[in-house]
């Protein structure tokens, strides 16, 4: 493939060191995706269990001629679809300001508000999935006036921070490498 076939893409101007850097970031980004998806998939499966228990929907499962099986298949995978959709929406609003700033475009106050709200949502989802305090959210709220520092689960706290910040950090590094800085 010649450089001409890339058109005006900034990819054609990248050195081999930038290609290696972006490739390594891509591999690390994929690992971060797998780590970052888990809490959202769990949230989605919890939500879909509530939806499937709805009386009318459980009636649809008993329709003959394979139609009920089709409903069961579609609603059985609803949790993954909902979880990944919520994850994608949160990551979009977390990465959007980085992309806009990297391309010298203004970031509106509304985008910053969505940015903060998406991080708050991710903290809540990840805190429920990877509780950094022994006993989970309930114990932390109970001990909040006077927390017991020995009940902090440090490996979970590290995993929580890695899960929340890894995706945006790797995307930011990939943006900087691709710009040649």
* Longest pairwise C-alpha distance within the chain: 65
User: Where does the pLDDT of residue 114 fall: very low under 50, low under 70, confident under 90, or very high at 90 and above?
Assistant: very high
Positive or negative, the CA dihedral 108, 109, 110, 116 is positive
pLDDT tens-digit map of 126-145: 888 888 888 888 888 888 88
- Length in residues, the chain: 181
Question: For the packed helices 78-102 and 109-129, what is the interaxial angle rounded to 10 degrees?
Answer: 140
Given a cut of 80, whether residue 54 has pLDDT beyond it is no
Residue 3 CA, distance from chain mean position: 35
Residue 18 CA, distance from chain mean position: 26
Please state, as a whole number, how many other Cβ atoms lie within 10 Å of the Cβ of residue 162. 16
Positive or negative, the CA dihedral 87, 89, 95, 97 is negative
The pLDDT score that the predictor gives to residue 168 is 84
Given a cut of 70, whether residue 22 has pLDDT beyond it is yes
Query: Among candidates 98, 84, 101, 94, which has minimal Cα distance to 41?
Result: 84
CB–CB of 160/129 below 8 Å? no
State pTM to two decimals.
Answer: 0.70
**pLDDT (average), residues 14-18:** 75
User: Where does the pLDDT of residue 61 fall: very low under 50, low under 70, confident under 90, or very high at 90 and above?
Assistant: low
Strand partners, 136: none
Query: Among candidates 60, 85, 81, which has minimal Cα distance to 71?
Result: 60
């Amino acid at each position: 493939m010649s450089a001409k076939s890339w058109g005006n893409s900034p990819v054609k101007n990248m050195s081999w060191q930038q290609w290696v850097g972006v490739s390594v970031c891509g591999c690390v980004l994929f690992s971060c995706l797998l780590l970052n998806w888990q809490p959202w998939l769990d949230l989605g499966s919890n939500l879909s269990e509530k939806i499937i228990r709805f009386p009318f929907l459980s009636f649809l499962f008993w329709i003959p001629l394979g139609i009920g099986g089709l409903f069961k298949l579609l609603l059985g995978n609803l949790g993954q679809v909902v979880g990944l959709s919520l994850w994608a929406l949160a990551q979009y609003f977390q990465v959007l300001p980085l992309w806009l700033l990297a391309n010298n475009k203004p970031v509106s106050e509304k985008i910053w508000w969505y940015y903060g709200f998406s991080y708050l949502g991710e903290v809540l989802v990840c805190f429920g999935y990877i509780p950094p305090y022994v006993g989970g959210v309930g114990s932390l709220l109970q001990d909040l006036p006077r927390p017991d520092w020995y009940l902090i689960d440090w490996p979970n706290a590290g995993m929580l921070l890695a899960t929340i910040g890894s995706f945006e950090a790797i995307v930011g590094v990939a943006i900087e490498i691709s710009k040649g800085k």
